[in-house]
Structure 1
Amino acid sequence: MNKIIITIALVLAPMLSQSQNFEKYENMKEVDAMVMTSKMFKMLAKVDLSENDPEAKAYMKLIENLDRIQIYKSSNAGVRSQMAADVKTYLQKGSLEELMRVNEEGRNIKFYSVPGKNDNYVKELFMFLEGGESGEKPLSVILSITGEIDLSQLSKLTADLKVPGAEELKKINKKS
């Protein structure tokens, strides 16, 4: 019986640690964190919008299908190093596929995803940004968005959230 429990624990441990890999950053004073859950998205989806605004309707459809958005940002060297190590571990454990890499103006941005119901949708979009433009403090940003994500609407959402690297998301949709 003990062997069965230990086997089950060993099988489930990577899955559980993968989903909680970045939550430790929420309470660090050196980290700016934002986490939005499905309850928040459902509440936002109930906002009464004009029937004549198709862009607003599409935006609401996007957010009501999201499960979670996590954004962690830090310029602290020690935290940035830990973030890089955690991202590397997360990518090795997960089923994420690389979408795109961008290295420009001192920033290195990598995008990954878990495929969705078709080529226009993903179940998870993951971004890791390192670096900064000259004269700026180096910065690391982790962005994870889960749910049924429409890539054609995603760049609008991340731009509204003012996520560094959001402008690069427009290029992902053009490539898909």
Structure 2
Amino acid sequence: MKKVVLALVFLLMASPIFAQGAFDKFDGQDDVKSVIVNKKMFDMMSKVKVDASDKEMQQYFNLIKKLDNLKVFTTKSARVEAEMKATAERYVKTANLEELMRVNDSGRSIKILVKSGAK
């Protein structure tokens, strides 16, 4: 019995180390379309030459430079949609996210949430 308890404690301690991101399980599924943009791409985008007089565009590129990643997943499967929604709701409750933007379109609500870093 002691070995079982020790094994469970070890597994519970190790699981955060090996855990995937909350949404990684959707990447690569046949009925899910995904767009994933990593830090390297944001770095490349921020190096695009912009007219010095276009302050708004310069602010946009300065913001892009600070992003680490962007993941967008879509599906037409009702089952996967329900799973995505449940995963997102759990993640939002535990990840200390801030609402950046909300769009209501044709009865659908889209929220863009961010997790601010130290920078």
Q: What is the TM-score when the length of structure 2 is the normalising length? A: 0.71
Q: CA deviation at 1:99?
A: 6.9
Q: CA deviation at 1:98?
A: 5.7
Structure 1's 100 and 25: CA in aligned 2 closer, same or farther, altered over 3 A? same
CA distances 1:82-139 after superposition (whole Å, capped 9, x unpaired): 101211221232223567877663213345444xxxxxxxx17xxxxxxxxxxxxxxx
Equivalent residue number for residue 108 of structure 1: 109
CA distance in 1 between partners of 2:56 and 2:102 (Å): 29
Please tell me whether residue 6 in structure 1 is matched to residue 2 in structure 2: no
Could you say which structure has the higher strand fraction? 1
* Count of residues in correspondence between the two structures: 113
Structure 1's 112 and 63: CA in aligned 2 closer, same or farther, altered over 3 A? closer
Max Rg structure: 2
Question: What letter is aligned with 1:6?
Answer: F
CA distance in 2 between partners of 1:57 and 1:98 (Å): 23
Q: CA deviation at 1:49?
A: 1.9
CA distance in 1 between partners of 2:40 and 2:62 (Å): 14
Structure 1's 104 and 16: CA in aligned 2 closer, same or farther, altered over 3 A? farther
Structure 1's 66 and 16: CA in aligned 2 closer, same or farther, altered over 3 A? farther
Q: Secondary structure at the match of 1:47?
A: coil
Structure 1's 102 and 61: CA in aligned 2 closer, same or farther, altered over 3 A? closer
**Structure 2: any 5+ residue segments left out of the alignment?**
1-5
- Percent identity between the two aligned chains: 29
Equivalent residue number for residue 64 of structure 2: 63
**Structure 1: any 5+ residue segments left out of the alignment?**
115-122, 125-146, 149-176
Q: CA RMSD in A?
A: 3.3
Structure 1's 66 and 102: CA in aligned 2 closer, same or farther, altered over 3 A? closer
Structure 1's 39 and 99: CA in aligned 2 closer, same or farther, altered over 3 A? closer
Please tell me whether residue 84 in structure 1 is matched to residue 88 in structure 2: no
Structure 1's 36 and 76: CA in aligned 2 closer, same or farther, altered over 3 A? same
CA distances 1:22-61 after superposition (whole Å, capped 9, x unpaired): 1121211211211111111111112222222212211111
Q: Secondary structure at the match of 2:96?
A: coil
Question: What letter is aligned with 1:78?
Answer: R
